[in-house]
Amino acid sequence: MLKPIRFVPAGTKIAFVAKHRLAFMFSIFLLIASLAALIGQGLNFGIDFRGGILMEVRTSGPANVASIRSTLSGLKLGEVNIQEFGSETDVLIRIQRQAGDEKEQLVAIEAVKSALGVEVEYRRTEFVGPTVGEELKEAGVLAVGLALISILLYIWFRFEWQFGVGAIIALSHDILSTIGLFALLQHEFNLATVAAVLTIAGYSINDTVVVFDRVRENLRKYKRKNLADVFNMSINETLSRTTMTSVTTLLALLAIFFFGGEILADFALAMIWGVCIGTYSSIFIAVPVLLYVNLKRNDEDPAGISVPQHERIGDG
C-alpha cells in the first residue's frame, strides 16, 4: 500500500516564533525596498490605466515580430510594444495614446493597418482614453482598500481585534511587496495585475485564518503554556496543510507562467510571488504580531466564548 506524500514530517517542533525578530527585519527591508522602487521608478502602467491603443492581429504564418516592429517604428507613433501570445501566429500590439482626441487615435489605427497590409487579420482593436484610465486607477485602489477593510472586519468578528491587527499587517505586507516587485522589475501593471493582488489577499488570509483557528483552539486547551509555545505548536500543527496547499497551487501557476503565453505571464508572476510571500507572512508575521498586541488569556477563550469545565481538565 502506497504511503501518502508528506512535505512536512509528522510531529514537527520548529521554533518559528523564536525567529520572528529576524523575520520582522527581513520584512521591514522588503517593504523599504518596495517603497523605494515605487517612489524611484514608479509602476509601468499598462494601457488599461494610462490610455492607448491595443490591437490583436493574426498572421497567415508564424509572425515575424522583428519585421512588424521595424515596420511600425517608422510610423512615428511613439512607444509601440509588440509581443507574441497564444499561438505563434498571434501578435499583440500596444501603442501609446496619441496627442489629440479620438480622431487622432483612429488615424493611428488606420496607419498601422495600412502599414501591415490586408494579409493580416485584425481580431481586436481597442482604445482606452485617459479619463477611463484614471477611473480604472481609482477603481483599482478602491477595490484593494475595500478588500482590506472587509478582511479586517471579518477577522475582528471571527476572532478578536488583536487577530485582526495581525492579519492586516500581514496582508498589507503581501500586497505592498507584490506591487513593489512590479515596480522593481518594471513589468506591466494592468487590470489583470490588480485581479492578482486581490486574489493574493484572499489566498493569504485563508492561510492565516487556518493558523489563527488552531491558535485559538490551543489557547483554550493549554492555559499554562506561554504564548510563544502555543503559537509554535499551532503553526507546526498546520504546517503540513499550508505547505501542501502552497506547493500544489505553485505547480499550476508555474505551468501558466511558462506555457500560458505573454498575456498571462505577469498575472502568474504576481500570483507566484503572492503565494510564497503569503505563506511566509502567515507563519512569520501574522502569528508573531500577536505577541505585541496585548492578547489576553483567562477562563474565557480569546473570542469571548466560555470554555466548558471538561475542556480545562488536563490543561498543560
- The correct answer on CATH 1.10.3720.10 for the domain covering 17-43+133-312 is no
pLDDT for position 3: 60
- Tell me the pTM: 0.77
- Interaxial angle between packed helices 227-259 and 262-281, expressed in degrees from 0 to 180 and rounded to the nearest 10: 170
User: Measuring CA to CA, which residue among 307, 284, 288 is closest to residue 297?
Assistant: 307
Give the H/E segment covering residue 125. Answer: strand 121-128
Flag residues of the chain having pLDDT under 50. Answer: 299-316
pLDDT for position 62: 86
307: helix, coil or strand?
coil
Domain residue spans of the chain: 17-43+133-312, 52-128
For cell 503553526, name the residue.
Answer: 235
pLDDT for position 119: 82
121 φψ region: left (φ > 0), alpha (ψ -120 to 50), beta (else)? beta
Q: How far apart are CA 252 and CA 284, in angstroms?
A: 25
pLDDT for position 311: 37
pLDDT for position 67: 86
* Architecture of the CATH domain 52-128: 2-Layer Sandwich (3.30)
Cell of 65: 515580430
